[in-house]
Structures are given as C-alpha cells and as structure tokens.
Structure 1
C-alpha cells in the first residue's frame, strides 16, 4: 500500500472508487425504474397531504394494511426509512422529504403530459403553461400568445400572480415558464432567466387630479397624505415605494386598497380623484387608454427589476417554450 493510501486509511478508510460510486448510482436508478409504480408516487403524495397512514386509508378508501404494505415497498426501494413513526403520525426523514418532492414533480409532469397528449390528439402541436405577473402589458402578452398559436399551433394556459408565487409554481412543475421579475430567481440553481426589458414606474390618478397637480414639483410629503392603491410591500414596486417615502423622511402611507389587480386599480382611480397609485409606464399607458385616468407629470429616476422570462433548467428545452422565447425576443427587442 502506498504512503497516500496509508494516509487515507489513517484518516478513516480508503476513499470509494468513482467507478464503484457510479455503479451504485446506476443500480439505484435501475431499481427505481424497474420497481417504482404510479401507486407509489400517489401514496407519497397522499402521505404528504394527510400526514398519517390512518388518514391516508380513510381519505383514499384503501385498507390500512394495504397502505402500510405500499409504504414498506417504497422504503424497500430506497433502502432506508422515509418517515419517523409516532402517535401523531409520520414525520419525513431528509430522504422522505426528497422522495415526496420528487413524487410531486413526477405526478405534475405526468398530468402535463396527459394534457399535452390530449391537445395533440385534437390537432394542436403542444400545450404551454405560462405564468405572468399582472404588470406584464396585455398588448405584449396578447401578441405573443397569438403569434404562438398562429405560427406554431400551440395552445396556451395563463396563470397570473405575483412573481414569488409563480416562481414557486414553476419549481413545483405546475408551470413551464414565467414572465416576472428576475430578482425572484436569486439563489435558485434550478432556474435561469432571460431579460426582456426594463420598466420605469410612473404615478397615475384621476384625470381631474392630473390637472390639479400640473406644474407642481414632486413632493413626497404631499403625496403621503393622499389615498393610495399599492401592491404588497413584498413586491418590487411595493418595496420601492416604502423606500422612497422613508428616504424622504415622511410616513409611509397605508394603502386604502392593497392589490396587484390592474382592473381594480383602474376602476377605483377612474372614479375617485383623491386616489393615486404607481405602476410601470407601459401599464399606465394601457390604463389611460381605457379613459378616466392619466399619468402624473413626474419622472422617477429609477427602474423596476427587469421583466424577464424565467425558465427551469432542462437537459432538453421544451420546443413550445423555445418558440415562445423567440417570439418574446422579437416583440421586446
């Protein structure tokens, strides 16, 4: 044995040969592929949902012995306990947490697969699940999805929410891609983003309010006394508004309505001249075209985090997703 081998032995034994590690991984993968079944995935999902074998049996209509046997099969596949048993139910081990997460992703992907197959059966090329924050201009989204359908015969499902919720849905395999703020991707190795364009914020209000404030200088103290519609402080624009009032050393206004809904904002702003809000400029332009509101003549010297296309890291990108990305580049370039 060499001196280096002696040192390894003294440190706690010989290091595993990489070939042995690869063989172990291959064997584990083969075991899963040959023995893992849909009922195992469903059982893991049910355990995650209900927290105990008794509740799983009651809610699914499966006998308790059958539930216990299925869990034993699953743990045999992984060669280790996946849950700690107690009178209060099941608490997942670290491996159990991973197993439930992977099972959830696999079931979600199978559901998408079934929906895509149904779309193809009906004559479409594919089905794409898109998440979009409310501050994506309707004109951009409309042009993109129309081009996707007309050029490539792809049908689209759109979900709207804040970036943090959409990014979590993307990580959970509930969405294929997200139009949102790139800042939400930080620290997530399983996601990547492509910047589309930057958005500049503006103040919006009733047309009569616009006339009253015309010619005045931007005064955060006066603005703080007004009625505001604001998104949550957890959103990029909400956080920035809090920061602006704090920097101006004036109290941060408590919004009369906290919402991200463009329809609600427009409805209230167009009827109440005492209310004000802040939105991206391209959204403000679309709102003003509906009538009743306008953009206040004060320019902000900052930009929101860029609007980006956020995607999961994949070995092989989805063709429909690539087509969508190409159309967005055309429209935003």
Structure 2
C-alpha cells in the first residue's frame, strides 16, 4: 500500500487516470459520478480556531462574519471543498470571502500559523481542531455553526472493482465504526 496526500481534487484526478486505486477525501460536486463511485464515511462539524488572546476576544462577542472577514485567514487551497464552503458562508452573510494569509492543507502548519498570529483564524474539522489545541496551543472559539463540512468519503472508480478494494472498504468501515463509537 502506498499513501498519497493532496487535495480531494488532486487525488480524484489521480483516481480517474488510474494512478490511485482508492481515495479517501471530501465529497465534492466536482467529481464525475459516471466515473467515480462515492461512499460517505463520516461527517465532521466545523470549528473556528484562533490564538489564545484572539479566541478569548472572539468568545466574548457574537458571531459576525463581516468582522471575521477582516481577520487574517489560513485556508485550504482554492477549489477544495472546505475552501468553497467557507467562501459560500461569507457570501451568504453578504460579505466577500477573506483572502487567505496562507493556504495549506497541512493541519499542523495551519495550527502553527494560527497560534503564531495575533489576528489569524481558520476553520477546520472538529477532530483536527481538538488535536491542534493539544499540539499547537490554539483555542477553539465557542461559536456554533448551523452547517457541517462536506462529508469524508471513500471514492472508487465506477468500473472494474477489485476484491482487494472491497476488502479495504469493509475494513475501513469497521475501523471507523469502532472509533466513532468510542
């Protein structure tokens, strides 16, 4: 087995050109359902993270997307599901999406940049936010969002399924079920 990291878009492209056999990534409307099958594995709520002082200040005021857009943001690469979703939220609130200070899909780098910045924030999945609290010292701003991130899914080519791919999918589902229950 070989593991590759990248954006969902990059990995799905490699799945379609037969470089990869399976992809675990965020569901996206950009995929071609005629070529790729998708199985939703789990959903994740979003969390806003910030450095300690900024998180404390933000926690004292109600959620205001206009004010948040004025902060320094660390976001994923353009055209990734989370980046598109964050942009939609700002547009829905009647304000332009923030231009990111940094773009990265490395959770550790996101946490380190946010922790080091006086005005820096990011939106990440809840489980990653909790890990970044421990690893980098960021804090989770206690806002409640009425939306969830695009779900994490297992993608396979629609044609030519192999028994080993099915075995992997079954094992992955069992592992997730065991970890999500505990």
TM-score when normalising by structure 1 = 0.50
Name the counterpart of 1:302. 147
Q: Is the 8 A contact 1:185 1:193 kept in 2?
A: no
Q: Which has the larger radius of gyration?
A: 1
Q: Is the 8 A contact 1:185 1:192 kept in 2?
A: no
Q: Is the 8 A contact 2:111 2:136 kept in 1?
A: no
Q: Is the 8 A contact 2:59 2:143 kept in 1?
A: no
Determine whether 1:159 maps to 2:4. yes
Determine whether 1:325 maps to 2:169. yes
The structure, 1 or 2, with the larger RCO (C-alpha pairs under 8 Å, 6+ apart) is 2
Q: Is the 8 A contact 1:163 1:184 kept in 2?
A: no
May I ask how many residue pairs the two structures share in their alignment?
Answer: 177
Partner of 2:116: helix, strand, or coil?
coil
CA distance in 2, matches of 1:275, 1:160: 25
- When residues 316 and 209 of structure 1 are mapped into structure 2, their CA distance, relative to the original with a 3 A threshold, is closer
Q: Is the 8 A contact 1:270 1:291 kept in 2?
A: yes
Identify which of 109, 119, 124 aligns with 1:274.
119
Shift, 1:199, TM fit: 1.5
**Cα-Cα RMSD:** 1.8
Name the counterpart of 2:32. 187
Q: Is the 8 A contact 2:51 2:120 kept in 1?
A: yes
Name the counterpart of 2:102. 257
- When residues 176 and 209 of structure 1 are mapped into structure 2, their CA distance, relative to the original with a 3 A threshold, is same
Q: Is the 8 A contact 1:164 1:184 kept in 2?
A: no
Q: Is the 8 A contact 1:207 1:293 kept in 2?
A: yes
Name the counterpart of 2:50. 205
Structure with a larger share of its residues in helix: 1
Listed as ranges, the gaps of 5+ residues in structure 2 are 178-182
Name the counterpart of 2:90. 245
